[in-house]
Chains A and B, each alone.
Chain A
Amino acid sequence: SQTIHQWPATLVQPVGSPLSLECTVEGTSNPNLYWYRQAAGRGLQLLFYSVGIGQISSEVPQNLSASRPQDRQFILSSKKLLLSDSGFYLCARWVNYGYTFGSGTRLTVV
Chain B
Amino acid sequence: AQTVTQSQPEMSVQEAETVTLSCTYDTSENNYYLFWYKQPPSRQMILVIRQEAYKQQNATENRFSVNFQKAAKSFSLKISDSQLGDTAMYFCAFINSGGGADGLTFGKGTHLIIQP
Chain A residues proximal to chain B, CB less than 8 Å: 32, 34, 36, 38, 42-44, 46, 49, 51, 57, 59, 88, 90, 92, 94, 97-101, 103-104, 106
- In chain B between 59 and 116, which residues have their CB closer than 8 angstroms to a CB of chain A? 91, 93, 95, 97, 99-104, 106-109
Let me know if A101 and B45 touch, CB within 8 A.
Answer: yes
CA distance A3 to B1 in the complex (A): 30
Chain B, 45-57, contact with A by CB distance < 8 Å: what is the 0/1 string? 1010010100000
Contact of B43 among A32, A92, A104 (CB under 8 A): A104
Contact flag A59-B44 (CB < 8 Å), given A98-B35, A99-B35: no
Are A42 and B103 neighbours in the complex by a CB distance under 8 Å? no
A32 to B95, CA, bound (A): 14
Number of B residues, CB within 8 Å of A: 23
Which residues of A lie under 8 Å from residue B45 when comparing CB positions? Answer: 44, 90, 92, 101, 104
Contact string against A for B residues 20-64, beta-carbon threshold 8 Å, 1 for contact and 0 otherwise: 000000000000010100000011110100101000000000000
Question: Shortest distance in angstroms between A5's beta carbon and chain B's nearest beta carbon?
Answer: 13
Closest 10 CB pairs of A and B: A43-B106, A94-B99, A101-B45, A46-B103, A44-B106, A43-B108, A34-B103, A49-B101, A57-B101, A104-B43
Q: What chain B residues lie within 8 Å of A99 (beta carbons)? A: 35, 47, 93, 95, 104
